[in-house]
Amino acid sequence: MRLEGKTAVIMGAGQSPGEGLGNGRATALLFAREGARVLCVDRDLASATETAEMIGGEGGDAATFEADVTREAQVAAAVEQCRTRWGRLDILHNNVGVSVAGGDAGVTEITEEAFDRVMSVNLRGTVMACKHAIPVMREQRSGAIVSISSVAAVESYPWVAYKASKMGMVAFTKQIAIQNAEYGIRANVILPGLMDTPMAVDTRARAWNRSREEVAAERDARIPLGGKMGTAWDVAYAALYLASDEAGFVTGVALPVDGGTGCRIG
C-alpha cells in the first residue's frame, strides 16, 4: 500500500489496440493495487473505462474521464474532476504520446501538420496538464508529477518531432521541479527504451504492413539486457517509485528504464 490515501490522475490510462498492456493501463492498475484512487483519463473513453473496470474488479477505486490532451479545457476539467471527487490531487501521471501514428518523419520529410500534431500531443499536452494540476498541489503544499518521455530523447532516433518533444519534456520537468520545490511538489520523468506495448509494437506493425512478431523480434535484438524488450510493468514500477513517498527527496530526475540501451551513448 505504497500509495494508500493518495489520489492519482493518469493521462492516457487507456491504450492502443493490440496485444498486452500499455504503460498507462499498467500504471493505473499498479497505482490502484498500491492503494491510490485513480482517475483514468483518455480521449478513448471506452478504453479508459476498460482500465477502470479492471481496477474495480480487483477491489480498487477508479473513475473515468474523457479528455483530449490537445484541448486545454478538457485537461483542466479532468484535473477539476479529481479534486471535486476526492478533495485533492496527489499524483499527476502524464503518459500520452504519439509518433508514427501522428505522421512523424525525418527532418527532410516532416510536414508542418505532422510536426505540430506530435508536439501538441506529447509536449503541449504535458505542459497543459501541469498548468492545471500545479495550483492544486501548491495549495496542498505537496504532490508528485511523473511524466513519460523516451530514451529517444538522448539516443539516435530517426524521426524529428518525437525526439524533439521528448527532450522538451525532460527540460520542462527540470524547470517545474525547481520552480515548485518550495511548495513540496516533486517532478520527475521516465525515459523508457524499447517496450513491448501495443503502441510501440502493434502500431508500427500496422503502419509498416508487417507482422507483430517480425517487428518485436527486431526490437528484442537491440536490447543489451537479456535481448528482450521491457514491458509496461517495468515502466509502471518506476512510476510507482517516483510517485511514492519513497522518492520523497527525488526531484528533477530523468530516469532511464531501457535495459541498458542508454549505456551505448557516449
Catalytic residue ranges = 162
| 57 vs 169: CA distance, rounded Å | 34
- Phi and psi at residue 128, to the nearest 5°: -65, -40
User: Which residues are CB-neighbours of 87 under 8 A, at least 6 positions away?
Assistant: 7
- Neighbour-count burial of 161, counting CB atoms closer than 10 A to its CB (0-12 exposed, 13-18 middle, 19+ buried): buried
For residue 241, CA distances in Å to 34, 190, 234, 247 come to 11, 11, 11, 6
CA 150/CA 18 separation, integer angstroms: 20
Residue 182 grid cell: 518550495
Instruction: Give every CB contact of residue 135 below 8 A, 6+ residues apart in sequence.
Output: none
Give me 166's grid cell.
521528448
Per DSSP, the residues of 71-102 read -HHHHHHHHHHHHHHHS---EEEE----SGGG
Cα–Cα dist 111/104, whole Å: 8
Q: How many CB atoms lie within 10 A of CB 199?
A: 22
- Confirm if 36 and 91 have CB atoms less than 8 A apart: yes
